[in-house]
Amino acid sequence: MAVEKSSLGLKRIGIADVLPTALPTVFTELEDAQIDSASVTESEPTTEDVRIEQKKGIYRRIETAEGSTVFTVQLYDVSADNIAALKGGTVTPATAQVGKRWARKETVEVTKALELVTLDDYKIYIPNGYVIALITWALSKSALATITLTITAQDHELGDILIEEPLED
């Protein structure tokens, strides 16, 4: 039977520092992704149609803004180390009186390389991603605190997104 060229689910999320001309060889795993919250989506470019008096239809189509590729996921891991990896800031070690602390003194732009591995071993890479990590700290018995992670693909020498099929057995 031939290998199906479809893909399902999420096995692993990895991030690493961006390298200027290559993919990182080691990625740090992000854990505790909320079920059904992860996706990679592309958006269409924004265009403007120019029409003229003498003809019906479109005379010329102008692209006014590029489309984008975006990865989003909800993470339950709100540890100080995970927040620092995704938002910048500093982590202070725990003491006898105070637990480990994350602190943000200024807002920084965070970029990371992203590796996604699906349950059927497809790999999706964003070699240079702009990271936005937003904390939602639910204060109820029925919901957990989350980090909403959004990584938008940016220009890179290898391309803004790479998709690798699994090797056939």
Predicted confidence (pLDDT) per residue in 75-91, tens digit = 999 999 999 999 999 99
**Model confidence over 37-96: pLDDT tens digits?**
999 999 999 999 999 999 999 999 999 999 999 999 999 999 999 999 999 999 999 999
Kindly report, residue by residue over 99-129, the tens digit of the pLDDT.
999 999 888 899 999 999 999 999 999 999 9
d(CA 48, CA 58): 10
What residue spans define the domains of the chain?
Answer: 12-164
